[in-house]
């Protein structure tokens, strides 16, 4: 499957905000993991792995839904 | 009044300190972008996959013209996700306070329970309004940029219908929180009621009165359905919303916290 004939320029208005949002979410999740010692379930290594591997939104969202302790 | 203001301030600060507001805003912007993006990309995807599909014997899939309507249809497909994310995030709003006993001090100092409920409800309504407006406006702006919103009928009205459904769900969640003790029970009660509404909607005569009808507001967009058909469901939503709020005040006043 090639997307060679797709004009990237046309999709930039979609891509730029999505990429920015993705990194903002990743940054918040990583900061939260590193500044907390206990989690609802799992360990720091597990959550770092999940957040970085699934950095396209799904990792940080999983962390905030399942791993973050209620404050 | 001073107590109410202070508690609203406490709730509002909580939205920032726990990153809840930020996360729901990011999710709603993301979903607002996704709707037009998917509409824009679908024909391209079919084009590039045409050979693969033909090999598998799937042929003749016609992708109609992509218009503003396609983008809005995607928006209404995704919007129930925003409601679900919201419910999951706020299902613990009361129950974590029950479990950690943080309301006991406040109540014994003379704060009325109704004020606690009202301030939590207000903050949740404000957050829902912000999230929904951001989601709607993002899709609106992109659709205006790539296509033309004027060919979509009842655009704002359909949006308001889904917004009202969200408010109804918040009322339901408040009632569930004043009955249940754990996060899970709140999710189960809220989800259960919505599921029952969906099941009852199988009967066409009943479906007109069900709050879940408001989620299907997408049918308004091409002008096939009249706006008036939503009147019954809207009245039911407003009545049941008032009932859930009154019910939750009564239950919350008797609740052991």
Assess whether pLDDT exceeds 60 at residue B200.
yes
| Cβ-Cβ contacts under 8 Å, B37 against chain A | 11, 14, 18
Asked if A64's CB is within 8 angstroms of B30's CB, the reply is no
Assess whether pLDDT exceeds 50 at residue A61.
yes
Assess whether pLDDT exceeds 50 at residue B12.
yes
User: The dihedral of CA B38, B40, B46, B49: what is its sign?
Assistant: negative
Q: Is B30 on the interface with A (CB under 8 A)?
A: yes
Give the span between the Cα atoms of A41 and B109, in whole angstroms.
Answer: 35
Read off the pLDDT of residues B39-79 as tens digits, 9 standing for 90 and up.
888 888 877 777 777 777 776 666 677 888 888 988 999 89
High-pLDDT (> 90) share of chain B, %: 51
Judge contact between B42 and B67, C-beta under 8 A. Answer: no
| Cβ-Cβ contacts under 8 Å, A14 against chain B | 33, 36-37, 40, 142
Give the span between the Cα atoms of B188 and B37, in whole angstroms.
Answer: 33
Judge contact between B31 and B135, C-beta under 8 A. Answer: yes
Window B:228-257, CB contacts with A under 8 Å: none
Asked if A21's CB is within 8 angstroms of B30's CB, the reply is yes
High-pLDDT (> 70) share of chain B, %: 98
Judge contact between A18 and B33, C-beta under 8 A. Answer: yes
Assess whether pLDDT exceeds 60 at residue A2.
no
Q: Mean pLDDT check: name the lowest of A8-12, A22-26, B152-156.
A: A8-12
- The residue among B109, B69, B96 whose CA lies nearest residue B11 is B96
Assess whether pLDDT exceeds 60 at residue A3.
no
Asked if A17's CB is within 8 angstroms of B33's CB, the reply is yes
Domain ranges of chain B: 2-254
Read off the pLDDT of residues B74-107 as tens digits, 9 standing for 90 and up.
899 989 889 998 998 899 899 989 998 889 998 9
Q: Is A71 on the interface with B (CB under 8 A)?
A: yes
Domain ranges of chain A: 22-67
pLDDT band at A62 (very low <50, low <70, confident <90, very high): confident
Confidence (pLDDT) at A54: 86
Q: From residue B11, how far is each of B14, B25, B181 by CA, in Å?
A: 5, 17, 20
For residue B228, give both structure tokens.
Answer: 């008036």
pTM: 0.87
Nearest residue, CB atoms, A6 vs list B22, B44, B96: B44
């Amino acid at each position: 499957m090639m997307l060679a004939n797709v004009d990237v320029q046309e999709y930039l208005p979609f891509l730029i905000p999505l990429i920015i949002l993705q990194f903002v979410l990743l940054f918040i999740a990583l900061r939260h993991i590193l500044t907390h010692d206990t989690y609802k379930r799992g360990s720091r290594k597990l959550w770092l792995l999940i957040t970085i591997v699934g950095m396209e939104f799904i990792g940080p969202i999983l962390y905030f839904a399942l791993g973050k302790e209620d404050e | 009044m001073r107590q109410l203001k202070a508690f609203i301030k406490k709730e509002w600060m909580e939205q920032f300190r726990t990153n809840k507001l930020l996360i729901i805003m990011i999710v709603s912007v993301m979903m607002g972008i996704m709707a037009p993006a998917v509409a824009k990309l679908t024909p391209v995807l079919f084009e590039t996959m045409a050979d693969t599909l033909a090999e598998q014997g799937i042929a003749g899939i016609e992708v109609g013209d992509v218009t503003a309507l396609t983008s809005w249809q995607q928006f209404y497909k995704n919007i129930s996700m925003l409601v679900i994310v919201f419910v999951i995030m706020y299902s613990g709003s009361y129950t974590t306070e029950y479990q950690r006993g943080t309301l006991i001090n406040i109540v014994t100092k003379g704060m009325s329970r109704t004020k606690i409920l009202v301030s939590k409800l207000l903050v949740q309504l404000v957050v829902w309004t912000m999230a929904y407006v951001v989601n709607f406006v993002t899709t609106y702006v992109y659709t205006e940029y790539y296509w033309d919103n004027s060919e979509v009928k009842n655009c704002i009205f359909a949006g308001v219908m889904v917004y009202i459904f969200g408010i109804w769900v918040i009322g339901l969640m408040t009632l569930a929180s004043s009955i249940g003790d754990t996060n899970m029970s709140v999710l189960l009660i809220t989800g259960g009621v919505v599921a029952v509404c969906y099941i009852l909607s199988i009967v066409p005569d009943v479906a007109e009165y069900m709050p879940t009808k408001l989620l299907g507001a997408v049918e308004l967009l091409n002008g096939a359905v009249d706006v008036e058909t939503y009147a019954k469901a809207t009245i039911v939503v407003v009545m049941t919303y008032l009932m859930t709020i009154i019910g939750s005040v009564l239950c919350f006043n008797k609740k052991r916290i």
